Amino acid sequence: METYLFRKHIHRLPGKVIHAVPLPKPEVTEGFGARGHIGELCRAAGYKQVLVVTDKTLHELGYEKKISESLEAAGIRYRLFADICSEPTIPVIDAGRQAAMESQAECIIALGGGSVMDSCKIIAAGVKMPHLPSKVLLPKFLLVPGDTLPVIMVPSTAGTGAEITVGAVVTNERGKKGSTVLVGLKVVHVVLDSELTFHAPQSVTAACGIDALSHCIEGVVSDVEENAEDMRMSMEGVRLILQNLPKLTGERGSSLPDEEAIEARGNMCRAALYGGNAINTQLAGYVHAFAHSIGAKYHLPHGQAISLMLLPVLEFQQSACREKYEKMAQYCGVPDFLEAVRALLKECGMDKITSPVKEEDHEELIKMVAADSINYSAPVTMNNRQIKDILEQITK
């Protein structure tokens, strides 16, 4: 009970703290193949030497070639660092910092998913603090003197929103994943190149899309003081995903870059960016608190854990969020908001995630969910009984 009262008492605090963190205000360039303009962007910014960072898979697919060719055409020197792995650790950050410092990079180009973009945030901060070892760059808040090195984000999936979020998830020296909020993150440009998202299998497109949807919805319903523009972006993100994700998954899904798929993927990229803005300005909520806990306990990928938890949490919050659900239904042109989410999950095959949750783990999960929820500003504060009720719904 004490814990619940504590949670209830402080649940508006994260929303106030996050507003004290300066947010990146990047320019956005969009379009199929847009990464081919990065050379011009760098020349216009006056960079002479940059570091291109990506992961092995994208490197093997040759996805950074369009970037390197454009840099060459613009007369900009670059070094490639393609060693980011799916769960970045301190040695990976160290190697990236070294590559950035040795090459005297003036800007980092981050091509990849959340892992690459988050690693680049810490690398860009680390370059500005060369005297500090990487292991101390991962506190809850990292104050970067001045700003980080400028970063150009080029997301390869439409989901995490990491291209704009001020948080970075990296595994620390104790092997534990943690999120660090960067105060002074300088993302100068976001390049939304829908061509990059074509390589993903339908299941990944769907999982990333539902993750982005959850960011936008949790942003709309959050208890953070309302800002009209942030609210508009989050609502627009919900609308874009409800309308476009079905075109890319299930029977209607096309992996060919035809006109409809290019437009739908471009819209998903924009929605994911709006989702990232929602995380920065409105914060996530219990969908994420449950998904993080279940993901960590059973190693369930984030998008799947989100898909598993989305409806149970949204249904639980229904009475507190009725007005906002109606507003979203109206904005998106659907008769019933929850029904539209249910239909979308079904249409993109994310309604049948096998739940790994076991009865004997409930007590541990309740603690994990309660602890994680303190980072957010959800519309209701759940007590342990309510958390348990939701866990029971998804227990085998």
Binding site for Fe ion (CB under 5 A): 211
Nearer to Fe ion, 150 or 303 (CB): 303
Residue nearest to Fe ion (CB): 211
Smallest gap from residue 365 Cβ to Fe ion (A): 18
Cα–Cα distance, 231 to 236 (Å, whole number)? 8
Rg of the Cα trace of the chain?
A: 20
Are the C-beta atoms of residues 49 and 212 closer than 8 Å to each other?
no
Amino acid at 144: V
Nearer to Fe ion, 7 or 292 (CB): 292
Smallest gap from residue 214 Cβ to Fe ion (A): 6
- What are the structure tokens assigned to 97, written together? 């910092």
Cα–Cα distance, 357 to 201 (Å, whole number)? 26
Smallest gap from residue 284 Cβ to Fe ion (A): 7
Cα–Cα distance, 250 to 348 (Å, whole number)? 5
Are the C-beta atoms of residues 71 and 107 closer than 8 Å to each other?
no
Nearer to Fe ion, 41 or 213 (CB): 213
Nearer to Fe ion, 82 or 374 (CB): 374
Are the C-beta atoms of residues 382 and 343 closer than 8 Å to each other?
no
Q: Positive or negative CA dihedral for 115, 102, 133, 182?
A: negative
Smallest gap from residue 211 Cβ to Fe ion (A): 4
Cα–Cα distance, 48 to 60 (Å, whole number)? 26
Cα–Cα distance, 197 to 266 (Å, whole number)? 9
Are the C-beta atoms of residues 220 and 235 closer than 8 Å to each other?
yes
Nearer to Fe ion, 169 or 235 (CB): 169
Smallest gap from residue 379 Cβ to Fe ion (A): 17
Nearer to Fe ion, 59 or 121 (CB): 121
Nearer to Fe ion, 42 or 305 (CB): 305
Smallest gap from residue 238 Cβ to Fe ion (A): 14
Cα–Cα distance, 228 to 15 (Å, whole number)? 16
Smallest gap from residue 213 Cβ to Fe ion (A): 10
